[in-house]
Copies of this chain bind each other. A is one copy, B any other.
């Protein structure tokens, strides 16, 4: 990597999970659309064929007549090959397959536990962590050995535990995690500001927020837009729209598993006094199961969707088909940007343009009443100096127990995964607020789910 006339040349990016159908294409377009960086991307994926397809697609994107920068896409045969010499490492993988995820999300339903996503906390998130953490141990060791100075950007869930594992295994790692859930809440606030205050064309970035919490369970305790304090505006809006919900975006929540009517968000605000800043599907999972996820009927009442794995499997087929079409040229390449920030954060870290955005990163003072080293989500200043979180301030007393509970559980989950400690894993599993079972049922569910993911667990668990 080198600087040339205020631009960066020969940048080397290692992309772990480089066979991704979807997120990868957006990233490739973002790179193509930016004339300040050029270089190469080494795609690494355990599904090598997928990486090869993406190398083809990446090449087409880079060769697009409207592309402002040329990027070279290669396939790396091994993790070592991908990482060696990398300036940036992007990690965006699916840990296991949708079969494992099917168990994560749906096995608990037999015990009356309904999950809306199942990849972060709750029984699904926990089991997913058990199989993901060993993968991240391997990534961390690889980064330590082959590119210790590289910046590492994680997009995989469970976000918090992925980032925490990297730091636990290689404390010198320069890693952080990015998630767009906060953006969604900013967009909602922008829409409310327009609607309530008559403002026009409010961009997401104009909604300034103080972010604090953990991934998918972040909170805003200050929000302003064009100098105006949005808290009283939001309060009024939440009160008025609480009962019916507020449909935001172009998808009706009844048709989409991602949309919602924001009733959970409004409910949390009216009860806790701060703005919960993630999709309702995520937020609901951090709270006790009885509150928002008591039953499919209750979920319908709260007007958000349960994302089934059947839906995911189906949607994957569509993406696979599209991958084939893009490779073959059947579908033309377009390079409109996708609104993710990954490439902008890279540019900031390269010293091209400082920026402030939310990030998942170890807590070294940003939130004084959460433990040192816990991975938290806060705003940070991105610059050539690195990622410097702003001091977000302590969590309010009423929100602290909600968040801290997960922080402690996540640390115990990490410990259990690293040591294959079944006793610790079970008690941690049982402490999740979604799990409201007696010991007998809890152990039964735990064992079932662990067995269902046993292909991805270290043999020390003795789960096969």
Contacts and interface: CB of A to CB of B under 8 A. Distances in A.
Given A226-B6, A228-B3, A405-B405, A426 B389 contact: no
Give the most central of A227, A409, A412, A428: most B CB within 10 Å: A227
Contact of A401 (B368, B405, B438): B405
Q: Which of A365, A389, A397 counts the most B-chain CB atoms under 10 A from its CB?
A: A365
A308 to B, nearest CB: 23
Interface in A71-120: none
A144 interface: no
A393 interface: yes
Contacts of A226: 3, 6, 351
A389 B380 CA distance: 10
A212 to B, nearest CB: 11
B381 A350 contact: no
A368 B267 CA distance: 35
A126 to B, nearest CB: 13
Contact of A392 (B6, B367, B388, B427): B388
Contact of A369 (B368, B371, B385, B388): B371
A350 B412 contact: no
A141 interface: no
Interface residues of A, number: 70
Contact of A409 (B298, B383, B401, B424): B401
A412 B401 CA distance: 9
Contact of A291 (B210, B227, B364, B438): B438
A267 B227 CA distance: 46
A316 interface: no
Interface string A394-415: 0001101110110011011001
A290 interface: yes
Interface class of chain A by DSSP = mixed
B390 A391 contact: yes
A396 to B, nearest CB: 10
Given A222-B386, A227-B351, A351-B208, A412 B398 contact: yes
Contact of A427 (B352, B398, B412, B439): B398
Contacts of A388: 210, 379, 390-392
Interface string A353-385: 010100000001111110110000001110111
A377 to B, nearest CB: 14
A39 interface: no
A43 to B, nearest CB: 26
A409 to B, nearest CB: 6
Contacts of A208: 351, 354, 383-385
Contacts of A356: 354, 381
Given A3-B227, A226-B3, A290 B384 contact: no
